[in-house]
Amino acid sequence: MLTITKANSFRGEMKIPGDKSISHRSIMLGALADGDTDVTDFLESADCLSTIDCFSRLGVFVERDFSHPGHLIVHGCGMEGLHPSFHTVALYTGNSGTTTRILSGILAPQRFVSLVSGDESVNKRPMNRVITPLRQMGARIESMNDDGCAPLEITGTSLRGISYVSPVASAQVKSAILLAGLYADGTTTVTEPSPSRDHTERMLRAFGADVDVGGNSVSVHHTEHLTPIKIQVPGDISSAAYFIAAAAIVPESEVLLRHVGINPTRDGILRVAKAMGADVTLLNETDDAEPCADILVRSSCLHGTKIGGDLIPTLIDELPVVAVMAACAEGTTVIKDAAELRVKESDRIRAMTEGLTAMGCDVTGTEDGMIIHGGKALRGAQIHTYADHRIAMSFAVAGLIADGETVLDDESCVRISYPTFFQDLKALEQ
């Protein structure tokens, strides 16, 4: 349990921890490369440590530099260098849907059998979205309880390239297929309804793979070798989102967030914050493998907006905290086309609707989103986080402007993506 109280203002400068999606991929692609990939600003959170653990058990030495947190070297074994894991019954992916799904794509073409299982939440999340396309490629992959969820049994076999039209915009699905596609005969193409985050494509190119992008489609070709690189992981815009929201809604605030990734497939929070009237300025923009900037946010009066369509994949993980901003904004905010929120670490539409209602906000959950009539003062309440890190962090932000005490039933879940979140929040509170 953790109690949050009202903040007077929110001021200062900070470095946001490394991007979770890019950290996972730096281990996965580094593992398959011929030699050493040097990673700095790696996110040392529970999810990314699950990825390190899985690849360690597959025979990849990930050397952590404990005197420099976030620095590690992935001693890649090459495309054919993974070994079966003998140590435990299953490769344990913890709470990480990203590890579970993308790893399945990497394991499908190996020469051995693997079992993949996560925690209670991961083992309830839909895996047919990767099982179906991987089977079309020839993969032998079974949901062990026959419920379309993990645990998964993956019997490695040779694969063929396919052209797959995905019903969901999901970077996890796209990445699982593309990484399996590196091993498949011919060309593998994934087409999405809207473009999802493109970190895998960018990183594959940097590792020397041949990747073609056109419209909402991405193709890879059979690849024998990946060349190791140096990766500096940018700050995670999904983590920055809590500070953007806090600075926007707490009066008299001014916060500078340094070196945050602003990849256009991830920057929906910036676009929506600005559409709501937030005072957000980008400084020191750079455009390397992943575009980055410092983000300056000052408090302002927010107003409601409409969020849907192609914008949704660019801010899917930020929608819980956007709902908090909407509760503080004058007028109505409508979030639609976001049914994916129901199958995240928790049903985030339900969790946000319940918590915001308890805090006195007028909010209705819909099948694929929320309708929020903002502008009423929020009051502190008991919040059920459903052990979901993004729900806990969103209500910690709501608690900063609520009257009275906001009590989170589980604050430890922030370790999944942002272990130092509460210390960092405290440091900026005045």
Q: What residues are labeled active site?
A: 317
Minimum CB–partner distance for residue 184 and ligand S3P (Å)? 20
- Does 100 engage in binding with ligand S3P (CB under 6 A)? no
- Does 150 engage in binding with ligand S3P (CB under 6 A)? no
| Position among 2, 4, 11, 21 found at the interface with ligand S3P (CB under 6 A) | 21
Kindly tell me which of 151 and 195 has the beta carbon lying closer to ligand S3P.
195
| Residues facing residue 235 across a β-bridge | 18, 260
Q: Beta strands 2-4 and 406-408: pairing type? A: antiparallel
Return the half-sphere exposure (C-beta side, CA atoms, 13 A cut-off) of residue 52. Answer: 20
87's tokens: 């140590």
Q: Which residue has the tokens 């379309």?
A: 148
- Does 263 engage in binding with ligand S3P (CB under 6 A)? no
Tell me the CA end-to-end span of the chain in Å, nearest whole number. 23
What DSSP assignment string belongs to 26-40? HHHHHHHSSSEEEEE
Q: Which residue has the tokens 């990183």?
A: 203
- Scan residues 322-381 and list those touching ligand S3P (CB under 6 A): 340
| Residues facing residue 116 across a β-bridge | 91, 152
- Does 211 engage in binding with ligand S3P (CB under 6 A)? no
Rounded-to-5 percentages of helix, strand, coil across the chain: 35, 25, 40
Q: Of 304, 411, 277, which is closest to residue 363 (Cα–Cα)?
A: 304
> Which residue stretch of 28-36, 71-79, 165-173, 287-295 sits at the interface with ligand S3P (rule: CB under 6 A)?
165-173
Judge contact between 62 and 33, C-beta under 8 A: no
| Position among 316, 341, 356, 416 found at the interface with ligand S3P (CB under 6 A) | 316
- Does 240 engage in binding with ligand S3P (CB under 6 A)? no
Minimum CB–partner distance for residue 106 and ligand S3P (Å)? 14
> Which residue stretch of 28-36, 49-57, 108-116, 171-179 sits at the interface with ligand S3P (rule: CB under 6 A)?
171-179
Burial class (CB in 10 A: 0-12, 13-18, 19+), 66: exposed
- Does 317 engage in binding with ligand S3P (CB under 6 A)? yes
| Position among 26, 45, 95, 98 found at the interface with ligand S3P (CB under 6 A) | 98
- Does 171 engage in binding with ligand S3P (CB under 6 A)? yes
- Does 267 engage in binding with ligand S3P (CB under 6 A)? no
Minimum CB–partner distance for residue 205 and ligand S3P (Å)? 17
Minimum CB–partner distance for residue 196 and ligand S3P (Å)? 6
Say whether 50 sits in a helix, a strand or coil: helix
- Does 170 engage in binding with ligand S3P (CB under 6 A)? yes
Judge contact between 421 and 399, C-beta under 8 A: no
Q: Which residue has the tokens 């083992």?
A: 123
- Does 189 engage in binding with ligand S3P (CB under 6 A)? no
Kindly tell me which of 170 and 394 has the beta carbon lying closer to ligand S3P.
170
Calpha distance 164→171 (Å, rounded) = 14
Minimum CB–partner distance for residue 150 and ligand S3P (Å)? 14
Residues near ligand S3P (CB under 6 A) are 21, 24, 98, 170-172, 175, 196-197, 316-317, 340
